[in-house]
A = this chain, B = another copy of it.
Amino acid sequence: MADWIWYPGDFEIHQGMLQNCVREERGMRWPAYWYMDDCLRNVRLFREYDLMEETAFRVKICGIGYVRVNDEKHRCNEAIVCGPGKTLIEIFVANPEGLPCAYADGPVIRTGPDWSADDLAGNIGAAGTSCLYRSPEQDPNRIFYQEEQIPCACRREVNGGFLYDFGRAVTGKPHFLSFPAGTKVTVCYGESETEALDVERCYYKEDNADEHTEFSRRAFRYLYIPEKEGEKITLEAVHQFIPFPKRGTFRCSDERLNRIWETAEETFRLCCGLFILDGIKRDQWIWSGDAYQSFFVSQYLFGEEELVQRTLTALRGKDPVRQHMNTIVDYSMLWIVSVRNYYEMSGNLGFLEFIYPKMISLLEYCLEQTNDLGFLYGREGDWIFVDWADLDKEGCLCAEQALLAHSLRSVLECARALGRDASVYGKHLEKLSGNITRYFWDEEQGGFIDSYESGKRKISRQSNLWAVLFGAADEKQKDSILRNVIQNDAVAPITTPYFKYYELDALAEMGELEEVYRRILEYWGGMLDMGAVTFWEEFDPSQTGTEKYAMYGDPYGKSLCHAWAASPVYLLSRYFAGLYPTKPGYQEFGVRPEGIRILEEFSFVLPVRSGSVRIFWKKPCLSIFTDMPGGKLILGEKAFPLIPGKELKLEV
């Protein structure tokens, strides 16, 4: 089987650009507000064969071009005969409107990752491929969604019109099963019933729809047809999705926790297409900060690599770096850390080889704005985000320095894996690390201050959480931060779900799993109590009326199916099951099932390389099974090797 091939990264960059253009709001299209890279327009795709005998092949391209075989030109879409002997096959393809790509197929000659790609300006790399594009009938400029018919779960007459509830979130289209001839209706969409019924202000609306209307792919649970003609209409929803493997599962004795996992999984799957998106209704943009958190979920749920690679590649775009990722300085650095995390998870050196130069150019872009102390500062027009919170943002920020240090560490680790010299970054890290404690640590308050330049010596959870998670705090400092900052009600609480993730992760890492458990049940359980079928961008239990759908000053601005809300999958897998790689790609891995201290009973199946690890707990029996070598069970100070194919049973 052959692959469609393209210039490395170009499929992801082109489709990512298209993705950042799909946002729609009340009849307006809303492209993302940052600089958008696109793929190359003109490339050469080539491979040399040493043919034993004469052979034939055929080339299909998206775009315009021709095939050159040992300097002789041939047309596409016709059988080309060549060999025996050394045969250089070059496909020249330009695509003025989209991704230039090619598919060559024959008994011997087939495009695949063993082909090379040339940008015609001296930059040659291994051709890009995707497991989603292996048929000549496809076109990598289009997305081929799988489809599923979703029947209407319930239809009700409301305000003289008709409301259809599908009982679940759908990303797709309405499909009329019967439609009164000659009429036109309005179709109003809603993630909530309230939104669908708000004919004026719902996000998506199709005016003058009939059975011939070509609907775009949109997210909804409810549809509302305000006209009385709705009575004669029957319809279903066509859900369009890219399927991902179900490799992570969880069950326990607590039905509420089971529903939280299932709803988190449902939420996450809906947010994953070619890329991991923030949510399904509103932006549908690729955000680095959101992706950073999502990668931890996909690691345990799908154990699938291409989705992460695609998201990382699309986010990063092309060189030169034109601006910070999504215009946010922290998001550039979170991306650098994400690459390291992905390598940790996958051990994929091929991808690392491809992405490493882009890590370096982005890191260099960040280092351009550092001072003599090694600190990163904000320049005119820079967006130093951290969180929507009242931080002391004067001068260099502690949170950014912790993240910069971790970015440097990430690059050093990747360089080591590739055998590259990155010692210049080691020196920067050394200087920076010392200065973080020197300038930001406040012994009296027992935590890191946001800014040393303002003189305010303000302590925030944000700065300290990043210091803990990104390795700026030593063990003693961590203890102090736990007591004096995180468990200190006088320090302003985290209010955004974006930072709630970091808080729970830090709490879990510092052993406060009971607290994590309590918060999961309260926050995510609270959404279930409100009837959520997917988890929301933000949840405030005190909002019980329609104000709960509002955000960013818009009555339906809140996304009700948001990727970062799926973090219970990560928290349970990483800390309750306790699975984590100790060598890149899970070549070695640990299982430290701290959840046995909290739950009476649970079972996890989680992906490890091409296999899995199964962890069963029914107090007091712990049983672990894996088909992959390299595993180790860790209980307190003790370690037990996991033998592939052999169940390890213990009484704890």
Q: Give A78-97 interface residues, CB cut-off 8 Å to B.
A: 92-94, 96-97
Distance between Cα atoms of A41 and B93 in the complex (Å) = 21
Is A17 a contact of B41 with CB atoms below 8 Å?
yes
Contacts of A153 in B (CB 8 A): none
Is A634's CB within 8 Å of the partner chain B?
A: no
Contact pick for A96, options B18, B25, B65, B74, CB 8 Å: B18
Q: List 24 A-B contacts (CB under 8 A).
A: A17-B41, A18-B96, A21-B96, A25-B73, A27-B75, A28-B65, A28-B73, A28-B74, A28-B76, A29-B66, A31-B42, A31-B65, A31-B94, A34-B42, A34-B120, A35-B120, A36-B41, A36-B94, A37-B41, A38-B38, A38-B96, A97-B98, A119-B322, A122-B381
A119 to chain B, nearest CB (A): 6
Assuming the contacts A97-B98, A98-B97, asked whether A121 and B34 have C-beta atoms less than 8 A apart, the reply is: yes
* 4 further contact pairs, Cβ within 8 A, besides A21-B42, A33-B92, A122-B323: A28-B74, A33-B120, A37-B41, A120-B323
Distance between Cα atoms of A30 and B40 in the complex (Å) = 16
Contacts of A107 in B (CB 8 A): none
Q: Mark A289-323, 1 if CB is under 8 A from B, else 0.
A: 00000000000000000000000000000001011
Distance between Cα atoms of A64 and B37 in the complex (Å) = 16
Find the B residue at minimum CB distance from A100.
B31
Q: Mark A612-637, 1 if CB is under 8 A from B, else 0.
A: 00000000000000000000000000
Distance between Cα atoms of A66 and B30 in the complex (Å) = 7
Contacts of A74 in B (CB 8 A): 28
Is A121 a contact of B31 with CB atoms below 8 Å?
no
Is A323 a contact of B121 with CB atoms below 8 Å?
yes
Distance between Cα atoms of A73 and B21 in the complex (Å) = 17
A648 to chain B, nearest CB (A): 53
A284 to chain B, nearest CB (A): 13
Contacts of A96 in B (CB 8 A): 17-18, 21, 38
Q: Give A49-88 interface residues, CB cut-off 8 Å to B.
A: 64-66, 73-76
Q: Mark A6-25, 1 if CB is under 8 A from B, else 0.
A: 00000000000110010001
Is A32's CB within 8 Å of the partner chain B?
A: yes
Distance between Cα atoms of A626 and B93 in the complex (Å) = 53
- Main secondary structure, interface of A, reads loop
Distance between Cα atoms of A96 and B99 in the complex (Å) = 11
Find the B residue at minimum CB distance from A98.
B97
A88 to chain B, nearest CB (A): 15
Find the B residue at minimum CB distance from A381.
B122
Assuming the contacts A29-B66, A30-B66, asked whether A94 and B21 have C-beta atoms less than 8 A apart, the reply is: yes
Sort A-B residue pairs by CB-CB distance and give the 5 closest, nearest first. Answer: A31-B94, A29-B64, A35-B121, A121-B322, A28-B66
Distance between Cα atoms of A32 and B73 in the complex (Å) = 14
Is A28 a contact of B121 with CB atoms below 8 Å?
no
Contacts of A76 in B (CB 8 A): 28
A66 to chain B, nearest CB (A): 4
Contacts of A34 in B (CB 8 A): 42, 120-121
Contacts of A92 in B (CB 8 A): 30-31, 33
Distance between Cα atoms of A178 and B346 in the complex (Å) = 67
Distance between Cα atoms of A65 and B28 in the complex (Å) = 7
A17 to chain B, nearest CB (A): 6
Find the B residue at minimum CB distance from A61.
B29
Contacts of A29 in B (CB 8 A): 64-66, 94
